[in-house]
Structure 1
Amino acid sequence: MSYNASMTPFDNGTTIPTYIKPFDDSVTILSGTVIFLFLAIGVFLNTLTIVVIRSTPKLRNVFMFFIMSLCVSDLMSALISPLFWYRRTLGFDVWLPPNFFCKLFWSVDLMTTFSTSMHILDFAILRYLSIQHPSTFQRISERRAKLWIFLTWVIAFLCGFVPLWIFTGAVPGEQRDRNSGEKNEKWPACTLLLETLDDYMKYSMSSYIVLILLPMIVVAIVSVLICRSVHYHAKSSLVNDDKATKKRLRKERQAVLQLVLIVVSFIFGYLPFVTYEIWSAFGSAHVVVDYWFGLGQYFCLRFSECMNPVFYNISSSKMRRNTKRYLNNMCKFCGCADKSGSRAASETSSFEVGATNLGV
């Protein structure tokens, strides 16, 4: 891949290419606006979801533990997003912070990517068990769920954080040599180390397939199975027209909606990410295309992670009620809620529904 270039003449008649950055100040401002906006939204919504679940005993069930852990992953990803912006703009040619921050960005970014992928796979499997095999689901205690989540994070750390800490780096304060002739000469200053590039390409092909693409496929299959199961239960409810059956069917439909929204968000954010990483590592046709592809896929990723907490509330009436109650209490504490708002919050809190197997 190569930059747009002009030829600079020297006194001896020779010329060398003068490389121009694939972006200007307007891109720096635009990308910064978008990323810092997503940072604020992501931090607020994911923190709010975590606090609401932790402060509401009736929300503490197996599903909510996984959602809370997924919010932690999205929150970590949001917090390191300014490093991506700096890497792609102000630090494109010269990385000024310590090398630690370059490695930290890459390592945490891939760790949270793998963590999110596995969490969504876990979540889909749990939904399927709760709907199709409730007796098996009942045997998953809170202790086992927390152990499951812990192992998910261990795998994400070992397969994401550790390798990228080895494969990436930057020399603080050193000008990027754009005429070296090396494969990574056109990449940002904080990037893959040239001496580890071949190992990284082998690693990325296997890890992305196993920890991102394969979970996508499995989640899609499980989602279809869940939809078929709910459709079958809906047909059965026409025969058994009792309140318990109707209530369970309503909960199952909410569960399907929640899963579908999360899966769509996941594919929207992570499919462009995987495509870009593989495409960029093996070489791209033009550096400007590479630059905008890299920026665009990151925007998709950040948007996806910001939308997850919104989808949790859209698809779960219980989550919505408790989020509204928490926000009303916060407004009341801050003195910005009127009496009618306080009364509405009181009425809402009295309408709590106990946790069910579906966790909706």
Structure 2
Amino acid sequence: MSSYNLSTMSYPNLTTQESYVRPFTDGVTIFSGIIIFLFCVIGILLNTMTILVIRKSQKLRNVFMLFITSLCVSDLMSALISPLFWYRRTVGFDVWIPPNFFCKLYWGAELMTTFSTSMHILNFAFLRLLSIQHPVVFQRITKRGGLLWVLTIWVIAFLCGFVTMWLFTGADPGVKRDRYSGEPNARWPACTVLLATIENYKKFSLSSYNIFILLPMFAIAIVSVLICGSVHKHTKSSTMTEDAAIKRRVRKEKQAVLQLVLIVCSFIFGYLPFVTYELWATQTDAGPVVDYWFGLCQYFCLRFSECMNPVFYNISSSKMRRYTKQYLNNTCKDCKGCERTENAGSRVVTSTSTREATGV
């Protein structure tokens, strides 16, 4: 890296042999770092807290919360690998210094969590529809059955996302990116799709992104409409009765709809730009500046979406809010208790030391 300056390096253009300047400045490196690392910290804190709240609250341990916990795990993994994206798009744009393992790890984990999130939300929506339209059938789903369901989703995401991208991607550590090669991947970061696998990756992306993201989006929209229709019918029926149990059930269904709508909107906001960029970048020959900024902005949307999910879980569920507040209060009390214990212990030590020094 010492043989050239990252902020001023230039190469001949991919096709015109004119000077080519890196498509971002040092200011963009700092700006994107602030945003991505901020999202990283927020994502880790909020998703970890949500997982702990659900695990510590017996009344939150149901099939729906199992799916939400697994979704939080997926978002947490995305937050943990987000610094690799920042490095890939900035400092390591032309020269990838870390071992190739980290490049493959980023891509594999990124696509695995993407496919996992999509399948989780689709199945979560289906469960909501089942619980509203066929509550008797829904009640037959055990926690063990729900756990196997979630594990199946992760196995599919691992095989179709992680393993596949591990084979398709890579980097040459310490090797300066050849920006004037004229190859299809010359404008991309140093850690990217391997030249030998580009054609296969194009076929894979067209099929997998349609199967795992676009089709689930369409299916989720249909299921959401069906859920809203069912809840609307139940709401009209509840106005004609004084049965408190029915009214309570309708109120819970409305909260469930709100939760689903927020999760789905967040999913579309984050993942539609992602899949659009991934398909666009492999099928077009846009300039490096457009490609760079499209790739950066779609990732901002993705990270924002994954940070907002834990917030939406609390906004849409009074029970979740109650147990979150209880968890935070207990955590604060434990911290204050530890602090008082430490202070008391230090006072005892000081008193003992004083007595020993005075010979009392």
Cα deviation 1:1-46 (Å, max 9, x = unaligned): xxxx9898xxxxxx94332100000000000000000000000000
Q: Moved runs in structure 1, 4+ residues, more than 6 A?
A: 5-8
Q: 1:331 offset after TM fit, Å?
A: 1.1
Matching of residues 90-109 of structure 1 within 5 Å: 90-109=91-110
Deviation track 1:316-358 (CA, whole Å, cap 9, x = no partner) reads 1111001001111111122299xxxxxxxxxxxxxxxxxxxxx
2:278 match: 277
What is the CA–CA distance in structure 2 between the aligned matches of 1:184 and 1:284, rounded to whole Å?
Answer: 10
Match of 1:299 in 2: 300
- Corresponding residue number in structure 2 for 1:318: 319
Do 2:11 and 2:180's aligned partners in 1 also have CA atoms closer than 8 Å? no
* Residues 22-171 of structure 1 aligned to structure 2 (within 5 Å): 22-171=23-172
Structure 1 stretch displaced more, 81-90 or 239-248: 239-248
Partner of 1:308: 309
- Give the letter for the 2:107 counterpart: W
Equivalent position amino acid for 1:113 in 2 = T
Q: TM-score, normalised by structure 1?
A: 0.89
Structure 1 residue identity aligned to 2:157: A
| Residues 6 and 17 in structure 1, CA contact (< 8 A), matched pair in contact too | no
**Cα deviation, residue 138, structure 1:** 0.7
Paired residue for 1:251? 252
- Offset of residue 59 of structure 1: 0.6
Once residues 204 and 167 of structure 1 are traced to their aligned partners in structure 2, the CA distance between those partners, rounded to angstroms, is: 11
Amino acid at match of 1:192: V
Q: Are the structure 2 counterparts of residues 115 and 7 from structure 1 closer, same or farther at C-alpha, using a change threshold of 3 Å?
A: closer
Partner Cα separation in structure 2 for residue 198 and residue 172 of structure 1: 23
Structure number with larger C-alpha Rg:
2
Deviations 1:169-198 (A, max 9, x none): 000000001111111111100000010000
TM superposition shift of 1:284? 3.9
Where 1:80 maps in the other structure, the secondary structure is helix
Change (3 A) 1:152 1:243: same
**Is this contact kept in 1: 2:217–2:268, CA < 8 A?**
yes
Is residue 10–residue 22 contact of structure 2 (8 Å, CA) maintained in 1?
no
Q: Which moved more, 1:282-291 or 1:184-193?
A: 282-291
- 2:131 alignment partner AA: S
For residue 334 of structure 1, what is the aligned residue in structure 2? 335
Indicate the residue corresponding to 1:355 in structure 2. none
Superposed displacement of residue 107, structure 1: 0.3
Amino acid at match of 1:166: L
Query: Aligned AA for 2:145?
Result: R
Task: Give the TM-score of the pair, scaled to structure 2.
Answer: 0.89
- Report if the CA contact (8 A) 2:258-2:316 is conserved: yes
Query: Are the counterparts in 1 of residues 121 and 264 from structure 2 also a CA contact under 8 Å?
Result: yes
- Inter-partner Cα distance in structure 2 for 1:6 and 1:34: 27
CA contact (8 A) 2:187 2:288 kept: yes
Question: Highest relative contact order (Cα 8 Å, sep 6+), 1 or 2?
Answer: 1
CA distance 1:193–1:262, change in 2 (3 Å): same
Q: Distance in 2 between matches of 1:292 and 1:45?
A: 28
Q: CA deviation at 1:238?
A: 1.8
Q: Which amino acid aligns with 1:143?
A: R
Secondary structure of the 1:19 match is strand
SS of equivalent to 1:335: helix
Q: CA RMSD in A?
A: 1.7
Paired letter, 2:307: C
Kept in 2: contact 1:130–1:137 (CA 8 A) = yes
Q: Does the CA contact (< 8 Å) of 2:125 and 2:220 recur in 1? A: yes
| 1-structure distance, mates of 2:109, 2:32 | 21
d(CA) in 2 for partners of 1:60, 1:183? 49
Q: Which amino acid aligns with 1:40?
A: V
Q: What CA deviation, in whole Å up to 9, does each residue of 1:70-108 have, x standing for no partner?
A: 000000000000000000000000000000000000000
Kindly provide the amino acid, as one letter, of the partner of residue 292 in structure 2: Y
Identity value in percent: 70
CA distance in 2, matches of 1:103, 1:318: 40
Contact 2:96 2:173 in 1 (8 A): yes
Q: 1:251 to 1:17 in 2, by over 3 A?
A: same
Unaligned runs of 5+ in 2: 1-8, 339-360
Aligned equivalent of 1:238: 239
1:260-304 CA-partner distances (Å, limit 9, x unpaired): 000000000000000000000112422111111100000000000
Distance 1:299 1:336, change over 3 A: farther
Please state whether the residue corresponding to 2:18 is helix, strand or coil. strand
Secondary structure, in 3 states, of the residue corresponding to 2:19?
strand
Query: Is the Cα–Cα contact under 8 Å of residues 265 and 308 in structure 1 kept in the other structure?
Result: yes
2:357 alignment counterpart: none
CA change 1:96–1:6 in 2 (3 A) is: closer
Secondary structure at the aligned position of 2:92 is classed as coil
Counterpart CA distance in 1 for 2:73 and 2:28 is 30
